[in-house]
Amino acid sequence: MKGNAGWVGCVEDHCCVDRVGGRERGSGTVLAAALALVVMMAMGVMLLLAQSAVLASRAAAAADLAALAAADTLRGITNGDPCMVAAEVAARHGATLASCSEGPGQTVEVRTELGGNPLLGAATGHARAGPPP
C-alpha cells in the first residue's frame, strides 16, 4: 500500500483500485452522454418549431399578396379573373390557393397552404383585401 489509506493494490506506477465507490467508476461518462442526448433533442425540437414559424410566415405573406392582387383585379386595376390571379401570385411564392371568394364591397378572401415538414403538416395563411377606405 502506498501513502493513501483509501487505495489498495498499488504497485509502483500501475493503476490503483479505489476501495470506496469502485462500482461508480465511469458514471460521469454516462451522465455526460445522457445530458448531451437531452441537449440534442431539445435543439431538434427548437429547430422544428423555428421551421414551422417560418413556414407559417411565408404562407401568411403569400395569402396577403394573393388577396391584394385579386382585389386589384376585382376593382379593374389589372386584367383577369381575381381568383386566377390570386392562384398565380400564391404559386410564385411556393404556396397553393386553398380557397378564394369574392365578398361584398369588392373584397376578396383568400386562403393559402404551404407544404412543409411531414411531421408538422402544411402551413396555412388567410387574408382579406379590398379597396382602400
Q: What is the pLDDT of residues 81-98, one digit of tens each?
A: 999 999 999 999 999 999
Q: Identify the CA nearest to 5 among candidates 22, 23, 18, 21.
A: 18
Q: What percent of the chain has pLDDT over 70?
A: 81
> What is the value of pTM for the model shown?
0.71
Q: What percent of the chain has pLDDT over 90?
A: 59
**8 Å CB contact between 52 and 118:** no
Mean pLDDT, to the nearest integer, of 102-127?
Answer: 88
Q: What is the pLDDT of residues 48-77, one digit of tens each?
A: 899 889 999 999 999 999 999 999 999 989
For all residues of the chain together, what is the average pLDDT? 85
Q: Identify the CA nearest to 98 among candidates 121, 125, 58.
A: 125
Q: Which residue has the higher pLDDT, 20 or 26?
A: 26
Q: Distance (Å, rounded) from C-alpha 1 to C-alpha 40? A: 45
